């Protein structure tokens, strides 16, 4: 029965989702080209809020847990597991005061209204997963950027999304580069749960009634052995995922 209603509600959701993408494309352009970074950043924040509200059409709810007083006067490296594209907007919205920038695959940099524009002009980087040298260069650029401007980099070290929610092994190179290029950054581990359920049936229809939780763990200083630090980050993120088994 749930899948039957999913076939009915998904086209409605898709219509409003695409409408938001189209509406915010010119808004972002005007904000960026006429008023500059600050206005563009605000437009992106409300773009992400609208996308979150749009998912309520298919019964998606969210719980964002952040008991920590994370400073805004230093860069952050936000490290999260990755279950679907539907955790991007919640992380962007609830961490907005830290100006999150993403390490994204290059395919997202063209053809997607609003999303592609923001990724190309908002400070994020687009990497070619088949070109290691290009990826390293872009991630290093992001690290230098957040170090200079006290902003945050969001990286999903699993590389690709988990289709079942179970955490994957970290690929550590990108994270090591960010740490090297942003040595004053604070590491913020995040565990995302159940965003994969929005794609439980594949690309169509969307799953209904998903309850996505995003848990922000205690921030970590960059100190000591980097491999040990990354192992601690990975363990912290994985243990916050419901499907994790030690």
> pLDDT by residue (tens digit) across 98-118?
999 999 999 999 999 999 999
% of the chain with per-residue pLDDT over 90: 85
- Cα 33 from Cα 36, distance rounded (Å): 6
pLDDT on residue 160: 74
In sequence order, which residues have a C-beta less than 8 Å from that of residue 67 and are 6 or more positions away?
A: 216
Pairing state between β 211-216 and 100-105: unpaired
pLDDT band per the 50, 70, 90 thresholds, residue 130: confident
Q: State pTM to two decimals.
A: 0.93
Dihedral in degrees, nearest 10, Cα atoms 20, 25, 30, 36: 100
- φ/ψ (deg, to 5) at 191: -115, 125
Region 174-187 average pLDDT = 96
pLDDT tens readout for residues 30-88? 999 999 999 999 999 999 999 999 999 999 999 999 999 999 999 999 999 999 999 99
pLDDT score, position 168: 86
Please name which of 246, 102, 228, 114 lies closest in space to residue 174, comparing C-alpha atoms: 102
pLDDT band at 1 (very low <50, low <70, confident <90, very high): low
The values of phi and psi at residue 79, to 5°, are -115, 120
Query: In terms of C-beta distances under 8 Å and separation of at least 24 residues, what long-range contacts does 95-100 make, across chains too?
Result: 95/152, 95/154, 96/45, 96/48, 97/72, 98/70, 98/72, 98/151, 98/152, 99/41, 99/123, 99/149, 99/151, 99/152, 100/151, 100/152, 100/153, 100/154
CA neighbor of 114 nearest in space, from 174, 154, 54, 192: 54
Position 25 pLDDT exceeds 60: yes
Q: In the chain, pLDDT over 70 holds for what percent of residues?
A: 98
φ, ψ dihedrals at 200, nearest 5°: -65, -25
Please tell me the distance from the alpha carbon of residue 147 to that of residue 182, in angstroms, as a whole number: 5
> What pLDDT is recorded for position 43?
98
The pLDDT mean for the chain works out to 94
Distance CA 245, CA 239 (A): 8
Residues 157-182, mean pLDDT to the nearest whole number: 88
Mean pLDDT over residues 240-244, rounded? 81
């Amino acid at each position: 029965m749930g899948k039957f209603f999913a076939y009915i509600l998904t086209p409605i959701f898709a219509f409003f989702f695409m409408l938001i993408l189209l509406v915010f494309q010119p808004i972002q352009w005007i904000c960026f080209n006429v008023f500059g970074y600050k206005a563009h950043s605000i437009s992106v924040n409300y773009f992400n809020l609208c996308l979150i509200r749009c998912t309520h059409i298919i019964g998606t709810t969210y719980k964002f847990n952040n008991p920590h007083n994370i400073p805004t006067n230093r860069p952050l490296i936000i490290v999260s597991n990755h279950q679907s594209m539907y955790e991007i907007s919640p992380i962007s919205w609830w961490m907005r005061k830290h100006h999150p920038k993403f390490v994204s695959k290059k395919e997202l940099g063209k053809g997607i209204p609003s999303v592609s524009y923001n990724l190309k002009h908002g400070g994020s980087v687009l990497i070619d997963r088949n070109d290691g040298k290009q990826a390293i260069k872009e991630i290093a650029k992001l690290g230098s950027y957040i170090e200079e401007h006290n902003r945050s980099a969001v990286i999903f070290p699993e590389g690709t999304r988990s289709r079942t929610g179970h955490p994957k092994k970290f690929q550590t190179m990108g994270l090591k580069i960010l740490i090297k290029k942003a040595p004053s950054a604070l590491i913020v581990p995040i565990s995302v749960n159940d965003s994969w359920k929005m794609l439980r049936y594949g690309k169509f229809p969307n799953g209904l009634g998903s309850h996505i939780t995003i848990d922000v763990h205690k921030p970590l200083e960059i100190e000591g052995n980097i491999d040990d630090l990354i192992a601690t980050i990975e363990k912290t993120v994985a243990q916050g995922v419901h499907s994790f088994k030690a």
